[in-house]
A and B are shown apart, each in its own frame.
Chain A
Amino acid sequence: MDINKRYTPQTWPDHPETATLEGKNKFVGFWLLLAAETVTFASLFATYLALKDRGPSGMDLTASQLFELPLVFIMTMILLTSSLTSVYAMYHMKNHNFKAMQAWLGVTVLLGATFLGLEIYEFNHYVHLGFGFTHSAFSSAFYILVGTHGAHVLFGLSWFIALMLRNGKRGLNMYNAPKFYLASLYWHFIDVVWVFIFTVVYLMGVIG
C-alpha cells in the first residue's frame, strides 16, 4: 500500500494516529519521551524550589518583589487557549478536514508566538532591573526552569510550522496523521508544565 494513498472522510480510520505500525511505534515512543520530560522538569523545579530567594547576603530582588501577576495571568490564558485550539485542530484531523486542521494549527501557532513574545518581554524587563542570569542562585534557577519551558514552546512552534509547510500540498494521509497528532500532544505537555510554572514559580513566589 502506498503511504500517499488518498482518503475521504468516509474511509478515514477512527484512530489515524495509531492505524499503522509506524504510527503505533511513534505513539509509544513519544509518550516515553513525555514521561522522561516530566522527570527533566521535576529536577528543574526541585532545583528552583531549593534555591528560591537564595543568593549573596543582602541581595535584593526576591520572588515577591519581582513577580507581577497581571502579565503571568495573560500568558496563562493565552497558552491555555492555544491548548484548546490544538484540540480543535485534532478534531478536524479525525474528521479528515485538512483545511480546518491547518487553520486551527495556524491559530495555535499565533497564540504560542504571542506567549513567547510576552516571555521575552518579561525576561528583558527583569534583566533591566538588574536581575540577570548571574545575579544569584535564585536567578539562575529561575531562568533555567522558565527558559527551558520557553525553549520547548519555541521548539513546538517550529515543529507545527514545519509540519504545516511540509504537508501543505500533500493533504492528510497515513504518513502525516501521526506526526500532527504527536505535535499536538507535545503542545499539551507544554501547557501541563506551564500550569506548574505559574503555580509554583509565580503564584507561590508572590505570596512569599
Chain B
Amino acid sequence: MAHDVEATNRTRSEYEYLRRKRSKEMQGMVTTFAMMIFLTLIAFTVVHAGFSPYLITPIILLLAAVQVILQLYYFMHMNNKGHGTIAFFMYSGIFVAFITVLALVTIVWW
C-alpha cells in the first residue's frame, strides 16, 4: 500500500523532452561543481598568501557559506518544488546551530 504510485504513461515526445531537460540540469550541476572548486581554490590561496587573519577569516567563512548554499540548493535539490517543509527544518537547524556557536565562543573563557 505504502508503495502505491500512479502509473506514468508518457508519449515519445514527452519522454524525449524529459531526457533533454534532465541532461540540461546535469550540465548545470557540473557548472555548480566548477564554482565550488573555484571557491575552494580561492580560500586556500588567500590563506597561503598570508594576509592578516582579521582580513582572511571573514573572507573564508563567507566562501564556505556560499559553497554550502550551492551544495544545499543544487546538489541536494532544495531549489526544487516541494521543499518548503525541508527549508523550514534546515533553517531552524541552522538558527539553533548559530546560537550554539555564538554562545560557546562568547560565554566560554579560561
Contacts and interface: CB of A to CB of B under 8 A. Distances in A.
Interface string B59-77: 0110110011001100110
B34 to A, nearest CB: 10
A201 to B, nearest CB: 11
B93 A46 contact: no
A7 B36 CA distance: 35
Contacts of B5: 1, 13, 19-20, 174
Contacts of A146: none
Given A1-B5, A11-B8, A47 B110 contact: no
A14 to B, nearest CB: 7
Contacts of B103: 46
A91 B89 contact: no
Nearest to B110: A54
Contacts, number: 153
A207 B58 CA distance: 12
Interface in A46-99: 46-47, 49-50, 54, 69, 73, 76-77, 80, 83-84, 87-88, 91, 94-95
Given A42-B100, A80-B37, A195 B93 contact: no
A28 B15 contact: no
Interface stretch (A152-160, A161-169, A183-191): A183-191
Contacts of A207: 47, 50, 53, 56-57
- Majority-rule SS of A interface residues: helix
Nearest to B75: A188
A189 B76 contact: yes
B67 to A, nearest CB: 5
Give the interface residue-count category, chain B: 35 or more
Contacts of B89: 31-32, 34-35
Interface string B92-110: 1110111011011100101
Contacts of B85: 28, 31
Nearest to A193: B68
A147 interface: no
A38 interface: yes
A206 B56 CA distance: 11
Given A69-B47, A174-B3, A203 B75 contact: no
B76 A188 contact: yes
B91 to A, nearest CB: 9
A156 B29 CA distance: 21
Given A42-B97, A54-B110, A83-B75, A195 B4 contact: no
A29 to B, nearest CB: 10
17 contacts: A10-B9, A13-B5, A18-B82, A32-B89, A34-B93, A35-B90, A35-B93, A38-B94, A43-B104, A80-B36, A80-B40, A83-B33, A83-B75, A84-B29, A192-B68, A199-B63, A203-B47
| Nearest 8 CB-CB pairings of A with B | A42-B97, A35-B93, A46-B104, A38-B93, A35-B89, A22-B2, A199-B64, A3-B3
